Amino acid sequence: MKKLLLAFAGLSLLSVTAQEVRLDLGRSSAMYIASHADGTPLNTSSNKSAAAVMIGSAPNVYGAGFGPKTNLVANESLNTVAFIHRSDFTSNGDLSSGALRFDYSFDGGATWTSNSGPVWNPDSTVGQYPGPARYPHIGILNNPSNTNPLNASISVWAPTLAGGNDSWGGALVGSHKMDNTVTDMTVDTTSGHLTLEESFTQDGTFWGISLDHPNYQNEEYTDTAVIWKGDMDFNTDSMNLNKIKAYLPVTDDPTEGKIYGDARISFDPPGVTGYISLEGHYEMIVPSKVIHPYLIKTDDGGMSWSAPFGPNLNNLVDQRSGDSLVTIFENITGGWSIGSLTSSTRGHDMTVDANGNVHLFVHVFPGFETTPTGGTMAAEFNYFPAMNLLVDIYSTDQGITWVCNVISQVFTWDYEFDPVNGPVTEATRPHISMSTDRSKLFFSWFESDTLFATGTENNFPDWKCRSYNVFGDSLDGEVTVMGTFGDATWGNVADYAFDNGDGTHQLHMTYAPIEDFGTFSVLNPIDFYYLGRPYPDFTSIEEMDVQNFTVSQNYPNPTSDLTKLAIETVEAAKFTLNITDITGRTIEMRNLGRLDAGRHIEEINAAGFAPGVYFFTVASAGHKSTKKFIVE
């Protein structure tokens, strides 16, 4: 058997002086079998989880595991967020753990309807057509003229155990109306489907990608990407499907075979120009024996695709510092001899911004031919996991030249959950979210706080984020912890963020916390939680812990007209808003009434205020939060 889906070495992260390396040989075939670490977990609470909401339940962690997925979707025009998962069939009354259900919120994530459906509930066993489903992806199909989310549909993209490829072989594709009245699904077994890659849905069009691999136990990947394109007919609530094939090669190494990771697909707002990205080894772009991102492109909506192209990581220059990535690694390693930089098969993300520029969010490590001080040179496809940068790589000229922004250094890389019944090895799961107009990009990942952990394994991950201004071509602010306090395991972030109108955008994330490592098993039923958080987050988590609500700084500040502030409350309560000048004189007193749990935006009209310094105070249940603002 050649090595396509080979085991990924489960070593712990190493210190900054580490000299041990790992061999990157792609995804493990063990992760597709759907059939403890020692330590004390963090105590989770509604406060520390920033009012996370429990949504759906699944039969086990398989389905959301093994890197970033499009399990979660958000549509700002409908104010709707939806999440798809395998069904906890014993509690939901479905036929097997291969049934699929979805959860949805029509108020931006404040309240949820859980375990809706089923979307898929076949009466077949593993290896029999049409097959139980695994690893689902979701989108929202909506006519832009429609404002009622019940009239919209979700797109569904999932592999099934149909029996054509060592129990796999099925590609489930179709739509399901959100009011549960119409389901239109098909299962394709004419290509060598294994686990399907990403899907992308925009207005009434769906695209899904699979990598053709007819018999992964005995044969290599065929260098063929299979793209499904679906155009929604909103009169019949069904999709008209086209199946397209594209050449997406991976070099067949004489020793290791074809090494590749996850593929991503995304399109520009008109849905005409799109890209497929892959993390793998293709020597025509990068001759060195390393993993690197590369792409193919379409200019006709996905019907035909270009030859592969992409960046060489060794040639990239960080736009903020002006230093090359090689120089940055020489600095953080204390003078190692850096050979070839490498990426990873363990998850990346890709999108197209408002200018039509493609962005890749990837891990970068020192790799092949790197020599640590006093150490041994790294061999082919080896890398140093402790030397990890998360990097936004992008092109402003359709892929002719490439530049990058270093988003963050990463200090914890991965962790093997439940090696007895798993293993499920999770790394930092990079995601890109966008504002609806694509003028802002938000880079998210999941990483343990090394100040908390007594090691460097990624078993207590926090949700972290940093943003990029597309029109200003610049990073905005610094890395922010988004309020999850070390329990954001198997986190997924939606592709779109909602504009809060106060200078922040609401990001949408789902995760499955581990309450007790002593009893946790990857085979046990698991609950998913939704967490919506603003970025940048002007509120104080410390305030939330003490008084169950937080208040943001107003935006804009200074102001001469309307300015807005956000109140986020864990529980429903009565609130007041008082505005005073610098002498303490009351300018306005406002009774806000009873506010439900969640995030609320209040406006202050300062058009009639004299220029100067003012204060606003939000009060509830004996607690107060006061902020200063300036009127020009």
Rounded CA separation 309/288 (Å): 15
Residue 33 is predicted with a pLDDT of 32
Q: If phi over 0 gives left and psi between -120 and 50 gives alpha, with beta otherwise, what is residue 66?
A: left
For residue 478, pLDDT over 90 is answered with: no
Residue 426 belongs to a domain: no
Q: Is residue 14 part of a domain?
A: no
Q: How many domains does the chain have?
A: 1
**Cβ 251 vs Cβ 282: under 8 Å:** yes
| Model confidence band, residue 124 (pLDDT cutoffs 50, 70, 90) | confident
Structural domain span for residue 585: 551-631
CATH number of the domain that residue 602 is part of: 2.60.40.2550
pLDDT band at 96 (very low <50, low <70, confident <90, very high): very high
* 406 within some domain: no
Across the range 310-319, mean pLDDT stands at 96
> What is the C-alpha to C-alpha distance for residues 134 and 142, in angstroms, rounded to an integer?
25
User: Is 139 inside a domain boundary?
Assistant: no
Phi–psi pair at 30, nearest 5 degrees = -65, -25
Name 443's bridge partners. Answer: 432, 466
pLDDT surpasses 50 at 377: yes
State the pLDDT confidence band at 24, using cuts at 50, 70 and 90. Answer: low
CA–CA separation, 608 and 292 (whole Å): 57
pLDDT at 42 over 60: no
Name the helix (H) or strand (E) containing 476: strand 474-481
pLDDT of 41 > 70? The answer is no
* Chain segment 147-157, per-residue pLDDT in tens: 999 999 999 99
Give me the percent of the chain exceeding a pLDDT of 70: 89
pLDDT in the model for residue 30: 33
Do you find a cis peptide bond into 249, omega within 30 degrees of 0? no
| Paired tokens of 54 | 């429990």
Instruction: Confirm whether 111 is domain-assigned.
Output: no
pLDDT (tens digit per residue) in 548-562: 888 888 877 888 888
State residue 25's pLDDT score: 52
Confirm whether 140 is domain-assigned.
no
Q: Does 625 fall in a domain?
A: yes
Whole-number Å distance between alpha carbons of 146 and 153: 11
User: What pLDDT is stored for residue 565 in this prediction?
Assistant: 84
Cross-strand partners of 485: none
